Structure 1
Amino acid sequence: MFFTYLRRELRRRRKAALVVASGLALGIALVIVVSSVSAGMEQAQGKVLQSLYGLGTDMTVTKAAEPPEEGDAEGRPRFQFDAKDSGSGEEQSTDRVMVQGFQTLSSSTVTKVGEQQGVAEAVGGLSLNVVKVNGQFAQGEIQPGQGGPGGGQGRVQGGGADFEVNSYTVYGTDVTNLAIGPLTSSKISKGRTFRSSETDAKVAVADESYAKEKDLALGDAVTISGTKFEIIGIATPDSGDATANLYIPVEQAQALSDSKDKVTTVYVQVTDSQRIDAVKSTIQQNISGTTVTTSADLADTVSGSLSTASSLASNVGKWLSIAVLVAAFLVAGLLTMSAVSRRVREFGTLKALGWKSGRVTRQVVGEAVVNGLAGGVLGIALGLAGAYTVTAVSPTLQAQIGATGGTAGPGGMGGPVRQSASQAFEVALTAPISLTTIGTAVGLAVAGGLIAGAFGGWRASRLRPADALRRVE
């Protein structure tokens, strides 16, 4: 009887049911789109951050470089060339290998960090900048003065120097543990990565862009400060720029820069992602003089269209969704009450025939819940269409990463510092749909039906059989 009457009444009032369902559908669809776009923003930001500090890294430990004192020439590049008697035209070349970005930490700091409560893994790395100068001197010629060889003072004409300066970045990687650190933000597209036994091997992995620029291939040799390294792999970054141009074993990097048992960065992976802040506080308390930077700290420095769109989705979009939902629920409730008011004679007659107020209320609530579920189905369909449209279009967003924790470049998580003060990335926005989002939409549909049914049921429960008899013509 309940379902028969329900089906008949919904069919008889199709227009009113469609209006209620459409209002709820609009609100639910907006919630799905905003939720999926917000999830896409988080994924895009995650890609940007992972391109800086590597997959699996939760935080880094560094020590800010001390600013040089006025007049202090230490740390500035110095290049010395031997005098040659062979005349002009002979090429001269020298490399300057410098630790960049941070003050070095003792390798024992890596062990100490790894022993802190809540730390699962800790590995060290050494960031270097290599400046290469090569060129040649041209010897000038002495021209005699006026009056021939014995007359007047001669002068030197011609001569000079023609030198080219190139710089590139090298990162010393702990090859015994490649699970965390900057190299995890790239994929080996050619060749292989390091083996755990190659702690002191003269091997290198080159960034794909740098390899193309320098025409490097697998098996080629690159010379860093007089030491030749064999290219064993080509790494392609997942997004953005590579962390360094070349990766070599950390022991080799320490030898090149005369930084034995020194690192610039300690990469940390925690045992529980919910305890990142607690682990950060523990490290700062137990290891003085260091700066601990988490992904959340770095996320605060993200600017550009990605940050703007994220703010809009999380703030404006969230409140807009709430406002539309509240309006849809109110409209559904008012329309249900209005429909009940127009059915005074019907409900009054049913009560006169013996229907209890509870039965009448359940009938009204049942109709409203069905309207809500219909609106939920329509809203989910519209929301999925909107989310898939965003994913299909995949608008490109820009993200600018600023320096944090006293870094000299964009490696805010303590990674190797790039050559500029900040780094720009381009990421494609998607709108992934999760089961949680669909579940939320179904819950909102049921809630909307129940709210509308509550309004209508309250109005129906107050009707009396006498009201129907007064309206009989």
Structure 2
Amino acid sequence: MFFTYLRRELRRRRKAALVVASGLALGIALVIVVTSVSSGMGKAQDKVLQSLYGLGTDMTVTKAASAPTGEQGSGPRFRFDARDSDSGSDAQEQSSDRVMVQGFETLASSTVAKVAAQDGVADAVGGLSLQVVRVSGAFTRGQLQQGEAPAQGGPGGGAAEGRIEGGGADFDVDNYSVYGTDVTEPALGPLTSSKITSGRTFRTSETNAKVAVVDSAYAKEKKYKVGSTVTVKSVEYEVIGVATADSGDAAADVYLPLKQAQTLAGSANKVTTIYVKAEDSQRIDAVKAAVRKSIAGTTVTTSADLADRVSGSLSTASSLAAGVGKWLSIVVLVAAFLVAGLLTSSAVSRRVREFGTLKALGWRSGRVTRQVMGEAVVNGLVGGALGIALGLAGAYAVTALSPTLQAELGGATSGPRMVGPGREAATKTLDVALTAPVSLTTIVMAVGLAVAGGLIAGTFGGWRASRLRPADALRRIA
């Protein structure tokens, strides 16, 4: 009887039911879109941070910045011999590499073990960030051009004069980054933010092997492939793999085993950055405080700290989605609930004769209330289905359009200060594509909102219906 009457009344009042369901649908759809976009913003920021930290890294430890010394402040020096080939026509190629520690600040390798021993630290690994500047080119000998002898008695006493034409130097400068990774700890460090798309990554036994993994963009520029040779300071390294960064921006152009990088830089048992994974994400702040207290002269940077340095359109859009967007969705949802409740209550007022007659026939107030609430819940579920469909369509449209947002990393600071694996604190812009992933949790939340909206509307209407008296119906009939 309950369902028969419910189906008949919903069919008879299709327009009113559709209005209530549509209002709830708009509110639910907006919540789904805003939640999905906010999730996409979070994923975009995670990609930016992963390009600096690497997957699984909760914080980094670097040496605290100090005022640069005279040696640090001066640029790299190159020395060449002014020679050319024996033929005197073809210039002889010369090159010189200068390998410098990025940031000029290093920590002892033993610091890695100290950090790993802190309470709450699951794992820690050190890495060495280097910058290589290669200058290559040749000197060309000038040619002596003989001139006519000057007149008798003139300067030079009648000797022939000449001048040197041509000659000079032609040199190219190649600047690229090298990162020394601890191959025994492959789960931490910036290389984990890249995917090996050709060849393989390092084996744990290759701690001092002359092998290298190169970033795909750098490999394309230099035409490197698996089996090619990368030469740094006259040392040849075989390319065993090509890595593609997930965020489109790699931490380094060339990755080498840590010991090899330390040898190239003359920084034995030194690291620039320690990557730390906490046992529990809820204890990151406590671990940060413990490391800073136990190991003096270090700077501990968490992913939250680094996220604060991300600016640009990504940061602005994320703030809007988290602030204005969420508040707007809440306001619209509350308004939709109130409108649904008022419309249901108003519909009950127009059904005084019907409900009064039912009470006169023996229906109790509770049965009338259940009938009104049942109709409202069905309206809410229909609105939820429409809202989920609209929300999924909106999220799909955002993902399909994939608008590009810019993330600016770092900022001007005094002195060399690290903000990631081998990156100095200079502003760097990354382009990140925005997506709007819809999770199962979001769908469940939408269904819950639909039921809640129906119950709220039913509560309004049921309260009005329970107060109706049979006498009211009899007066309407008369």
**TM-score in terms of structure 1 length:** 0.92
Q: Equivalent residues in 2 for 1:381-392 (5 A)?
A: 381-392=389-400
- Counterpart CA distance in 2 for 1:226 and 1:148 is 53
- Counterpart CA distance in 2 for 1:182 and 1:407 is 23
Contact 1:240 / 1:424 at 8 angstroms: preserved in 2? no
The question of 1:79 aligning with 2:78 is answered yes
Tell me the alpha carbon deviations over residues 10-52 of structure 1, each in whole angstroms, 9 at most, x when there is no partner: 1221111111111111111111111111111111221221122
- Counterpart CA distance in 2 for 1:38 and 1:19 is 29
- Counterpart CA distance in 2 for 1:153 and 1:64 is 67
Find the counterpart in structure 2 of residue 264 from structure 1: 272
Contact 1:64 / 1:102 at 8 angstroms: preserved in 2? no
SS of equivalent to 2:206:
coil
Deviating more after overlay: 424-433 vs 336-345 = 424-433
Out of 227, 230, 239, which is 1:222 matched to? 230
The amino acid across from 1:78 in the alignment is R
Find the counterpart in structure 1 of residue 125 from structure 2: 123
Find the counterpart in structure 1 of residue 42 from structure 2: 42
> What do you get for the CA RMSD once the two structures are aligned?
2.5
The question of 1:366 aligning with 2:374 is answered yes
SS of equivalent to 1:302:
coil
- Counterpart CA distance in 2 for 1:360 and 1:220 is 82
Q: Equivalent residues in 2 for 1:66-465 (5 A)?
A: 66-69=66-69, 76-82=75-81, 89-139=91-141, 157-158=164-165, 159-403=167-411, 412=419, 414-417=420-423, 421-465=426-470
- Counterpart CA distance in 1 for 2:235 and 2:324 is 57
SS of equivalent to 2:408:
strand
* Deviation at residue 123 of structure 1 after TM alignment: 0.7
Deviating more after overlay: 144-153 vs 122-131 = 144-153
Contact 1:140 / 1:156 at 8 angstroms: preserved in 2? no
The amino acid across from 2:164 in the alignment is Q
* Deviation at residue 178 of structure 1 after TM alignment: 1.2
* Deviation at residue 140 of structure 1 after TM alignment: 5.3
- Counterpart CA distance in 1 for 2:336 and 2:60 is 48
**TM-score in terms of structure 2 length:** 0.91
SS of equivalent to 1:170:
strand
Tell me the alpha carbon deviations over residues 211-244 of structure 1, each in whole angstroms, 9 at most, x when there is no partner: 2222223222222112221222111212222211
Tell me the number of residue pairs that the alignment of Structure 1 and Structure 2 aligns.
469
- Counterpart CA distance in 1 for 2:82 and 2:34 is 70
- Counterpart CA distance in 2 for 1:276 and 1:21 is 45
* Deviation at residue 295 of structure 1 after TM alignment: 1.3
Contact 2:123 / 2:277 at 8 angstroms: preserved in 1? yes
Deviating more after overlay: 125-134 vs 421-430 = 421-430
Contact 1:104 / 1:264 at 8 angstroms: preserved in 2? yes
The amino acid across from 1:345 in the alignment is R
Tell me the alpha carbon deviations over residues 194-221 of structure 1, each in whole angstroms, 9 at most, x when there is no partner: 1111111111111222222222232222
- Counterpart CA distance in 2 for 1:72 and 1:170 is 21
The amino acid across from 1:445 in the alignment is A
SS of equivalent to 1:303:
coil
Tell me the alpha carbon deviations over residues 291-335 of structure 1, each in whole angstroms, 9 at most, x when there is no partner: 111111111122222222222222222111111111111111111
Shift in CA distance, 458/405, structure 1 to aligned 2, threshold 3 Å:
farther
The amino acid across from 1:120 in the alignment is A
* Deviation at residue 427 of structure 1 after TM alignment: 2.3
Find the counterpart in structure 2 of residue 467 from structure 1: 472
- Counterpart CA distance in 2 for 1:434 and 1:5 is 37
Contact 2:82 / 2:139 at 8 angstroms: preserved in 1? no
SS of equivalent to 1:471:
helix
* Deviation at residue 446 of structure 1 after TM alignment: 1.0
Shift in CA distance, 83/37, structure 1 to aligned 2, threshold 3 Å:
closer
- Counterpart CA distance in 2 for 1:405 and 1:104 is 18
Structure 2 unmatched ranges of 5 or more:
none
SS of equivalent to 2:179:
strand
- Counterpart CA distance in 2 for 1:118 and 1:360 is 60
Tell me the alpha carbon deviations over residues 141-172 of structure 1, each in whole angstroms, 9 at most, x when there is no partner: 77899668766898873454332222211111
Contact 2:84 / 2:138 at 8 angstroms: preserved in 1? no
* Deviation at residue 458 of structure 1 after TM alignment: 1.4
- Counterpart CA distance in 1 for 2:243 and 2:414 is 28
